[in-house]
Structure 1
Amino acid sequence: MRIAIAGFQHETNTFVDTPTQLSDFEQADSWPELLCGQDVLNTTRGMNLPIAGFAKTALADEVELRPILWCAAEPGGNVADHAFDTIAERITTALADMTQLDGVYLDLHGAMVTESWDDGEGELLSRIRQVIGPDLPLVASLDMHANISRRMVDLSDAMTIFRTYPHLDMANTGARAFRMMRDICTNGPPAKAWRQGEYLIPLHSQYTRVDPAKTLYNALDAFDGPGARLVELAVGFTAADTADCGPSVLAYSASQAEADAMASQFFAKLQAAEKQFDTSLLSSKEAIETAQRASGRRPVVIADVQDNPGAGASSDTTGLLRELVHQNAPLAILGLLHDPQLAAKAHELGKGAEFEAEIGGKSPGDAPYRAQVRIHHLSDGQCRYTGEMYGGGVATLGPSVALQITGTQIHVLVTSIRNQCLDLAQIRLFNLEPEDARILCVKSTAHFRADFEPIAQEVLICAAPGQFPCELADVSYTKLRPGVRKI
């Protein structure tokens, strides 16, 4: 078998005004920079990425891989047309120049929105089909936060989806995509069925180690069978105001009757789970008061879920920080706050310097927090992940600094490049030990849980203001399909 492979990932928050540019895909941040050719295989090898899992499994099966490119940008506003067109053209041009292909594999997200296309993946698949034709096997892997469209279903032969949140099974999902590809190349494309859910699930409620998400995803195993028999669940990305926003069920089988039956059976489980999702959120005041009452020796982790850069937020809001100072919280660490100007100033002044700082607050609806600070630690921002989710990779934070608010025990970790705080190594980079803190405030929705939960005595979910809305009742959608409910 000869398989062309490529990756083009973006999770788009349509409530953010700043477009995602080509340079955002070209720079290293949470993931590597844009990779081309053999670098796709060399750089991602051993990482928890779908394309790495696909490649490892395919190469073990003595498949010839023809890597084109792989790129991902930190979640943010709509992908600029120039960025989308440039990357899509690189993929289609490379495919047009290839001969004797047996299939194409794509490592996608599933919730990309561009300036011109609400369904970015559907448009990408359409352009690829125009080059490779209707019959060449085309398989993709998707994030579990994908908003799946009819166009995506029709233009692909199969799509596999993450089954864990935090996403610990990304490489496994890529391996499952290869299993589907191998069967399609041997036996032809499977029958497929698709059902769209009737309610939106806030991301902080999608955590797969608790019910109902835990039970739903565990139930998928019963449908996995020989050949191309498979059921997949995407729970959707609620910060994308599009007609396809929300959950989807996909089913594949040798017969259409069985695919339809499996999709309907699992869809009934999804419908029945609606009222079981815990959507509760604490205010900043409530979260810190609760953390202060905790009597154990381990830290309390507070998730600033609405300022999660991993969902497109600015990662610079100051609501939780203000409350930490107001309540004079003991031994507290807050990170990662994105403020390149502040980080640059700190690097000019040097370790140990004290100065009057304007911290964060540069996104709409917020204001900088002014405080006297001391520079505790400076870093170049190169951080090798040690946690299970991103282990094997390197976070590029840019010039970064740990600031201590004068007269308090509160430290703020400031970076030059937006990164979700999801790995304990991101705290230790600043010469701070996370287990010594009483309170750890992380700008993340759920990914932090994989590494932080084992050291925490409690995890609290906080709804400080931010650009990633989790209280869906307050969200003004304009494009949702009729009848979709908010929970």
Structure 2
Amino acid sequence: MSRPRTPVEHPVIAIAGLGIESSTFSPARTHAPAFHPQRGDDVLTRYPFLAPGRPLRDAAEWKGALVGKSLPGGMVTADAFAALSDELIERLRAMPHLDGLWYDIHGAMTVEGVEDAEALLLTRIRESVGPDVVVSTSMDLHGNVSRELAHLSDLLTCYRLAPHEDHMETKERAARNLVDLLESGAPRPVKAWVPVPVLLAGEQTSTRIEPAKSVYAAVDEVEAVDGVIDAAIWVGYAWADEPRNRAAVVVTGPDRDAVAAGAERLARGFWQARRDFAFVAPTDSLDGCLDQALASSARPFFISDSGDNPTAGGAGDVTWGLERVLARPEFKDADGPAVIYASVPGPAAVAAAAEAGVGATVTVTAGAEVDDRHAGPVTMTGVVHAVKHGDRDAETEVVLRVGRVHVILTKLRKPYHLERDFTDLALDPRSAEIVVVKIGYLEPELFDMSADWRLALTPGGVDQELVRLGHRRIRRPMFPFDPEMADPDLTARIIAPSDQPLTGDNE
């Protein structure tokens, strides 16, 4: 049994965490500045529900330690992880008595030379704050939940929508559940954890469509059962080659039988639907998608250049797709369709175009400085259409008009998810015939403005054709790598509260 606890009327809660999706199939590396770490009271500004005067802000004394979130990318360097982790721990050690800790992470961080980085960091956190501090962990549904991470967390939840339109709602739920547990004085809850041997890309498991829509709808039903605090399904992160990478279910609550039954129900639902998961949009080669866009009257027609998606872990500078777009004769004709391509990093190209200024004709070379496995740098001659300084991710952006293609070049890689990402560069995506974006499924604003769209299966560090990537360290058998595998054991593994030792096989 978990140790009895005393109700806490106005708990003191620290906030800490590091978050990133890290592709082990990308040659890129992620360094400490990419996390844009926030410290102290600045951490609270990340969360609208912790703004002054909001009920949850007033329900506890919140103390920011260090929270850093990076764009998805390559593996985190050992030095970056050590520096950020050490600072985070020192800030926690300097704090007075804590009642709780909110661990705000992504769950797919891969670090050079480290297994299960999030569990390792949480182990260090627990050693620094002591065993009595209650921990609530919030995650992306594309994170990975090892048994160790589930054990170290008292409460555990993740997003329920993909795209993640509920990301802030999920974080608020994690914080609210923590406050409620501390105020109640109830014992630490039991967790039922079920690893599910399925590893699929997010673009195949979007909750916009079936079967994920129904699989995730069952989460609310399980959570509504007496004796359950929270229920969650993780798809896992497909572009890292680690033993922990797979789908998982965790149901948390005071009633052992209720959480076990709920977890097994959700795990069975996910497993039974495994063959029905499909891409969220029609797929084709990039040339095939361009052919369909040119033949269609739907405008704007969006195409996802998915293999180098920077918000899934791609290096962002693969030029394979841009080469093919620029080579199309339809886009060289002055009367051809207008195309926007977003984007390719090229620091030297951006500097030269920015110095030349809007209206100048320049010849520049960009791309393939990090990931040159599929195509080399691209040399382009075009007119500088726009220059913008000061972006948080890109730092400097340039639009170069090459024929009918408006190519967005960046100093540092940047995802293009919002309409203003384009309009700030004097581009109108709504009036373009074709918009090619390095992305997987379209983010909400792009989805809403698209008249039609296709997912191009292109090469890169987050290739959607998972089987051809060459996973070697994931636990086998695993669907779809072993399509005819036998049904797995989906019995709930009961994980004792975190104030008790972890025993048994850490699956």
Q: Tell me the TM-score normalised to structure 2 length.
A: 0.86
What corresponds to 1:20 in structure 2? 30
- Note the C-alpha offset of 1:322: 2.5
2:407 aligned to which of 396, 412, 415:
412
- Note the C-alpha offset of 1:58: 2.6
1:309 alignment partner, SS class: coil
8 Å Cα contact 2:228/2:251 also seen in 1: no
CA shift digits 1:97-137 (9 cap, x unpaired): 32331111111011111112121101011111112233320
d(CA) in 1 for partners of 2:421 and 2:362? 24
What corresponds to 1:352 in structure 2? 359
- Note the C-alpha offset of 1:179: 2.7
CA shift digits 1:388-432 (9 cap, x unpaired): xxxxxxx44211100011xx2111011112111111111111101
CA shift digits 1:57-83 (9 cap, x unpaired): 6314x2111111221122222212222
- Note the C-alpha offset of 1:261: 0.9
- Note the C-alpha offset of 1:343: 0.7
1:5 aligned to which of 4, 10, 15:
15
Question: Residues 41-56 of structure 1 correspond to what in structure 2 (within 5 A)?
Answer: 41-42=44-45, 44-46=46-48
More displaced 10-residue stretch of structure 1: 199-208 or 219-228: 219-228
d(CA) in 2 for partners of 1:111 and 1:94? 24
Residues 274/56 of structure 1: CA separation in 2 closer, same or farther (3 Å cut) = farther
| Structure 1 stretches lacking a partner, 5+ long | 26-32, 383-394
8 Å Cα contact 2:239/2:461 also seen in 1: no
What corresponds to 1:292 in structure 2? 294
1:244 alignment partner, SS class: coil
What corresponds to 2:262 in structure 1? 262
8 Å Cα contact 1:52/1:171 also seen in 2: no
- Note the C-alpha offset of 1:239: 0.8
CA shift digits 1:205-252 (9 cap, x unpaired): 122211111112222111223675221011111111000112111111
8 Å Cα contact 2:340/2:434 also seen in 1: yes
Residues 39/467 of structure 1: CA separation in 2 closer, same or farther (3 Å cut) = same
Q: Which amino acid aligns with 1:349?
A: A
What corresponds to 1:340 in structure 2? 347
d(CA) in 1 for partners of 2:174 and 2:13? 12
- Note the C-alpha offset of 1:21: 1.5
Residues 277/52 of structure 1: CA separation in 2 closer, same or farther (3 Å cut) = farther
What corresponds to 2:244 in structure 1? 244
Q: Which amino acid aligns with 2:136?
A: V
What corresponds to 1:283 in structure 2? 285
Residues 248/34 of structure 1: CA separation in 2 closer, same or farther (3 Å cut) = same
- Note the C-alpha offset of 1:313: 1.1
1:111 aligned to which of 108, 112, 123:
108
8 Å Cα contact 2:307/2:464 also seen in 1: yes
Question: Residues 67-466 of structure 1 correspond to what in structure 2 (within 5 A)?
Answer: 67-185=64-182, 186=184, 187-225=186-224, 228-279=228-279, 281-296=283-298, 298-327=299-328, 328-329=330-331, 330-362=337-369, 363-365=371-373, 366-382=375-391, 395-405=392-402, 408-446=403-441, 448-466=442-460
d(CA) in 1 for partners of 2:204 and 2:408? 27
d(CA) in 1 for partners of 2:362 and 2:420? 27
Q: Which amino acid aligns with 1:347?
A: A
CA shift digits 1:322-366 (9 cap, x unpaired): 332333241110102222221111112111111222232332212
Number of residues of Structure 1 aligned to a counterpart in Structure 2: 458
Residues 272/478 of structure 1: CA separation in 2 closer, same or farther (3 Å cut) = same
Residues 325/149 of structure 1: CA separation in 2 closer, same or farther (3 Å cut) = same
d(CA) in 2 for partners of 1:53 and 1:441? 37
d(CA) in 1 for partners of 2:467 and 2:28? 24
- Note the C-alpha offset of 1:470: 1.0
8 Å Cα contact 1:352/1:374 also seen in 2: yes
2:385 alignment partner, SS class: strand
What corresponds to 2:467 in structure 1? 473
| Structure 2 stretches lacking a partner, 5+ long | 1-10, 332-336, 482-507
- Note the C-alpha offset of 1:316: 2.0
d(CA) in 1 for partners of 2:420 and 2:85? 34
What corresponds to 1:59 in structure 2? 57
Q: Which amino acid aligns with 1:192?
A: K
User: In angstroms, what is the RMSD of aligned CA positions?
Assistant: 2.0
- Note the C-alpha offset of 1:7: 2.8
Q: Which amino acid aligns with 2:310?
A: P
d(CA) in 1 for partners of 2:252 and 2:293? 46
> Larger Rg: 1 or 2?
2
8 Å Cα contact 1:191/1:256 also seen in 2: yes
Q: Which amino acid aligns with 2:187?
A: G
d(CA) in 1 for partners of 2:238 and 2:195? 14
Q: Which amino acid aligns with 1:480?
A: I
Q: Which amino acid aligns with 1:304?
A: D
8 Å Cα contact 1:41/1:55 also seen in 2: no
Q: Which amino acid aligns with 2:20?
A: H
Residues 354/396 of structure 1: CA separation in 2 closer, same or farther (3 Å cut) = same
More displaced 10-residue stretch of structure 1: 268-277 or 463-472: 463-472
8 Å Cα contact 2:227/2:258 also seen in 1: no
2:322 alignment partner, SS class: helix
Question: Residues 20-39 of structure 1 correspond to what in structure 2 (within 5 A)?
Answer: 20-25=30-35, 33-39=36-42
What corresponds to 1:386 in structure 2? none
CA shift digits 1:246-292 (9 cap, x unpaired): 21111112121211111101111001111111146311110000001
8 Å Cα contact 2:308/2:315 also seen in 1: yes
